[in-house]
Structure 1
């Protein structure tokens, strides 16, 4: 439960408060994995294609991403971040990192060591 609460607290640290967690997740996913089709984004986010289309439309209207026709299949569009989309992701990461850094600095060294060990165990669990 503590992991979920910490994740929720970190998600609250964002550069743009008008974006939903789902919208930010799409932006972060595009930043990490590059251009995707609508279907690939829907699969990655585990939502329906119509739902992802609504999300993409909204983010496109806000100027955070754009659709580019596929070079080999003109029926497809590739969705990619705009400069504004990259900027909002970077600003959010910076804000989250600053919050977490501040919180970790307040802990004593023994607690930080315990967290480092726990993080390693959680990483191993997540990859199994």
Structure 2
């Protein structure tokens, strides 16, 4: 049986790669849940739908296959998401310019507005939290951000 007193403290756990992985996983998951809780109250979209809008905003028009690859889901899942977004006017579907078998998904003005309002609210919350950190702590996060992005994008 393991007791709480037998568990390594976060400071001790961070000394090993395994401990770092565990603490980082927990911290990132908690931050993600907290940011999700800060969603705009008028936003009716799911996190998966918001991810599709975000991918279109960052990368421009994409095929369903490209969106599925980006979101690491199967094309039928993205197709359902895109269909819902299109029905509600957040995206449009159009023909691919060179491949008639594919559909190109485009972000609409309404989709962009919902995405930016939601991001703005979350960014405001995070900015307030960052303001409570020391300059040194914010600098550490500035240096860590590209590393976290690289970790998230690695297969």
TM-score (norm 2): 0.71
CA distance in 1, matches of 2:57, 2:145: 24
TM-score (norm 1): 0.84
CA distance in 1, matches of 2:147, 2:75: 35
Which has the larger Rg?
2
Instruction: Tell me the matched-pair count.
Output: 128
Corresponding residue for 1:6?
31
Which ranges in structure 2 are unaligned for 5 or more consecutive residues? 1-25
Corresponding residue for 1:25?
51
Query: CA, structure 1 residues 105+66, in 2 after alignment: closer, same or farther (shift >3 Å)?
Result: same
CA deviations on 1:53-104 (whole Å, 9 max, x unpaired) are 1101111111100001122233322101000011111112211111111111
CA distance in 2, matches of 1:8, 1:43: 24
RCO higher in structure (CA 8 A, sep ≥6) = 1
Query: CA, structure 1 residues 77+8, in 2 after alignment: closer, same or farther (shift >3 Å)?
Result: same
CA distance in 1, matches of 2:152, 2:76: 30
